[in-house]
Structure 1
Amino acid sequence: MKIVVTTPTGNVGSRVVPLLLQAGVRPTLLVRDPDRLPGPLRERVDAVRCDQGDGDAVVRATEGADALFWVDPPTEDGDPVEGYARMGANGARAVRENGIARTVFLSSGGAELRSGAGEIDGLGRTEEMLEATGAHVLHLRCGYFFTNLLFELEALRTEGVLRTTLPLDHPMPWVDPRDIGDVAAARLLSASWTGQHAQAVQGPADLTWSEVAAVLTEALGRPVRAVRVGDDDVRARLRAAGLGERRIEGVVGMSAFMRDGYRPKDTRTLLTTTPTTLASWAYAQLRPLL
């Protein structure tokens, strides 16, 4: 079985790769810089230097693949929706031209809306392009990554503040990316599923931002409070960081659609619930950094 993994050093891909190795598979990894892979890992995989923005290179690298784990990597495109869609088009082309039987795509809750969800709209367009290939496709529509809290390290360290544009009592699924990797690896290793499906990956519970602050207070051993800020505050922070207007609106749009009454199409079930709690992740991963 030839399984190809994109973004193998990312939060999810870095979990998928060792699971495939432990299952006895030698995966093919598409990576811009193979030297970024740990030395012991490079000996056990087939690492291909590949920019996912180069459609010809993606097709060559995935030739003969039985299964593909596709992630739309961030791009420098001024419009993040167009950037994700451009990457998705290359993935779909590889599936179509190489006859890849099964693809597991790292998507997001909100992608099913197809429009109105900020930069997530680019993932929705990728879903459509992969489905148009006629191949077997599974979209993993994931909740909010625990690892997004790493972007708030400075505010947590100096102010004990967690900022959000969402109402503090707004519940949403929070998930450990490693658990997403578990689901992805299991699906990549299975040849028994067919058709085109979506499966949510929603962590163990929906949490409000107030509840997240309480969990972090306990796990980190320091007070943390959630504070609601306006969209314009976020815009100002992103402009100061050098982002262009379309990228800024792509970020703001990801919160705006959730405030407008969005509820995930995929309801929580045994299949969508994963085990790692925010408390255990924060104690093990976030606390040592503060």
Structure 2
Amino acid sequence: MIVITTPAGQIGSRLLDILLNEAPTHGEEVRVIIRDPGKLPDAVRARVDVVTGSHGDAAVVDRAFAGADAVFWLVPPAPQATPSLDAAYTGFTRAAAKAFTTHGVGHVVGVSALGRGTPVADRAGLVTASLAMDDLIASTGVAYRALANPTFMDNLLRQVASIRDDGVFTDTVAADRKAPTAATRDIAAAAADLLLDRSWTGTGEVPVLGPEDLAANDMARIMSDVLGRPVRYERQSLDDFRAALAGRGIGDALVEGYLDMLRSKDHGLDDGVPRTPQTASPTTFREWCEEVLKPAVQE
């Protein structure tokens, strides 16, 4: 039995699709934890065991992990009023960590971030909190793999309107600073591989780096080529980003967590892992733009 958290999310939904195609050939059953089962398509709901509720709830994970061999773990976006990043990550995960031990779960695959071992790892906001969550899970003795991810290509979907209407996308990083980016479908594929072939033991990270490092100006050029219209990058100041988050009602702890993460990315947070055949993932940014961004812009 494989348990999937966040089965309607960007990564979880793609992972669920893969597992529903491949799990039967491995003799695996799939269970999901979801607050609103109505978010799952009827055809999917008919093929999985559904546990309704939050995977931060001790009673919910106790039901969901009974009889489970493996778990896909992803902490959902923190509530706007979260008191601290520790509460949002380690605090949210604490009940699950106890349930891993109680129910003898053998393997856990978690979604985390790059940065461990870099000079800025201890002051990287959301990433620092995510790494602490990894340490908590690893301390239970379960076999654990943290998917160590850079910025997601798919985050650009939040700016579809600006790209379509104004030919502009924004971020806070330097325009010429090259860094890895990964497609969420590749992260889901990496998770599926680990969940279906559980020959691994111990704890460790599995970086998902994409096939190339790109700067924001490189991404603007590729988007322009694919969309057939000029797209340019505008660097947003951290102060302006802070104001934008606060304007959306996001609490101080999360705002500071985002700012610390973005500041650290500009100081090498994502540079600590070399790209090798084992750490690279296949989807290029151009492919992602053609297959994901362009249809979203045209819609």
Q: Normalising to structure 2: TM-score of the pair? A: 0.92
Aligned partner (choices 122, 134, 137) of residue 127 of structure 1: 134
1:267 Cα deviation (Å)?
1.8
| 2:7 partner amino acid | P
Q: Which moved more, 1:103-112 or 1:31-40?
A: 103-112
Distance of 2:279 and 2:84 partners within structure 1: 31
Determine if contact 2:56/2:96 at 8 Å carries over to the other structure: no
Partner of 1:11: 10
Distance of 1:149 and 1:112 partners within structure 2: 28
Quote the sequence identity (%). 35
1:81 Cα deviation (Å)?
4.1
Q: Normalising to structure 1: TM-score of the pair? A: 0.95
Distance of 1:241 and 1:7 partners within structure 2: 23
* RMSD, aligned α-carbons: 1.5
1:263 Cα deviation (Å)?
4.5
Question: Which runs of structure 2 are paired with 1:51-200 in the superposition (5 Å)?
Answer: 51-76=54-79, 77-110=82-115, 115-200=122-207
Q: Which moved more, 1:188-197 or 1:242-251?
A: 242-251
| 2:77 partner amino acid | P
Q: Which moved more, 1:112-121 or 1:101-110?
A: 112-121
Distance of 1:124 and 1:140 partners within structure 2: 11
Determine if contact 1:136/1:194 at 8 Å carries over to the other structure: yes
Q: Which runs of 5+ in 1 are unaligned?
A: none
Aligned partner (choices 217, 230, 239) of residue 232 of structure 1: 239
Distance of 1:199 and 1:38 partners within structure 2: 30
Determine if contact 2:182/2:208 at 8 Å carries over to the other structure: yes
1:208 corresponds to 2:224 = no
Distance of 1:245 and 1:195 partners within structure 2: 36
Determine if contact 1:213/1:224 at 8 Å carries over to the other structure: yes
Describe the shift of the 1:249–1:273 C-alpha distance in structure 2 as closer, same or farther (beyond 3 A): same
Distance of 2:185 and 2:269 partners within structure 1: 26
1:112 Cα deviation (Å)?
5.4
Describe the shift of the 1:187–1:238 C-alpha distance in structure 2 as closer, same or farther (beyond 3 A): same
Determine if contact 2:143/2:203 at 8 Å carries over to the other structure: yes
1:84 Cα deviation (Å)?
1.6
What's the CA shift string for 1:226-268, capped at 9, x where partnerless?
Answer: 1112110101111221212221111111110122233543321
Describe the shift of the 1:166–1:101 C-alpha distance in structure 2 as closer, same or farther (beyond 3 A): same
Describe the shift of the 1:48–1:112 C-alpha distance in structure 2 as closer, same or farther (beyond 3 A): farther
For residue 197 of structure 1, give the secondary structure of its aligned residue in structure 2.
Answer: strand
Distance of 1:261 and 1:181 partners within structure 2: 25
Q: Which moved more, 1:106-115 or 1:175-184?
A: 106-115
| Residue correspondences, number | 289
